[in-house]
Amino acid sequence: MAAVEFKKEGHIAWITINRPEAKNTLDAEAFVNLKEAWDQVREDDEIRVAILTAEGQEDFCCGGDLSGVIPLWMGTKQPETDIEQKLLADPQTVDKVMLKAEPVYKPIIAAINGRALGGGCEILQATDIRIAADTATFGLPEPKRGIVPGGGSMVRLVRQLPYAHAMKLLLTGEPINADTAQQIGLVSEVCPAADLQDRAKALAEQLAQNAPLALQAIKRTALESYTDDWNAAFEKETHESAMIMMSKDAREGTKAFKEKRQPEFTAA
């Protein structure tokens, strides 16, 4: 079995971290698989929404494999397999996995089934809608190991959360439970663990019924204008709005509304 499984159901892509025996930590294969999975989501026009989740009931992802990839990056271990060589051949692999180097503008839902620690907590910050099992926990323990959460958290977290909440997570390294994560805005909603996959699928199906170009324009504008001043941000919004208004999907959406039927969007 692959360290990360990829499957497509209609317009929905499922990306599943599959190392439950290793707390779903990311080894060299998992990093390479995840990078390739994001490439597929980005390039496949049939995919409108992606769901990121993990196997098992205890762990979503507990970060990088400390005994594997961390020594590789620190130079204290030499690559022993083709997949380890492939990981090191692209110095931007981690940035691509964490969607720092190459964003995905299609909506991404995180279905968080258990502990999201270290890199596991970081990768969910690159997702758009986050559904957590009521048993999930979240944390960035890197400072306790003498390192920093450099997979995006030092930049993303203080922009996504109120400053004091973000800094407490970043500086203490202490985990929080699902309810607290929802209260501070780290996750969108919490549901019973048994309902997690169904809830994520239902939400993905809802998004997949919307116009795909519109969804991508909304996400692209939100990401790219986040640090702009008002004028520059509104300029981007106006540009994206104009492009979407000229699309066939926009005409189909308004026509379907008048005809009281479901629109048939084609991403055109």
Catalytic machinery residues: 122, 142
**Separation in Å, CA 58 to CA 20, 24, 33, 112, 186:** 8, 9, 22, 10, 19
Rounded to whole angstroms, the Cα distance separating 133 from 136 reads: 5
Report which residue type is found at 243: M
For 205, the token pair is: 């199906």
At a CB cut-off of 8 Å and minimum separation 6, what does 114 contact? 24, 54, 56, 57, 58, 59, 60, 133, 135, 136, 137
d(CA 171, CA 173): 6
Strands 108-112 and 129-133: parallel
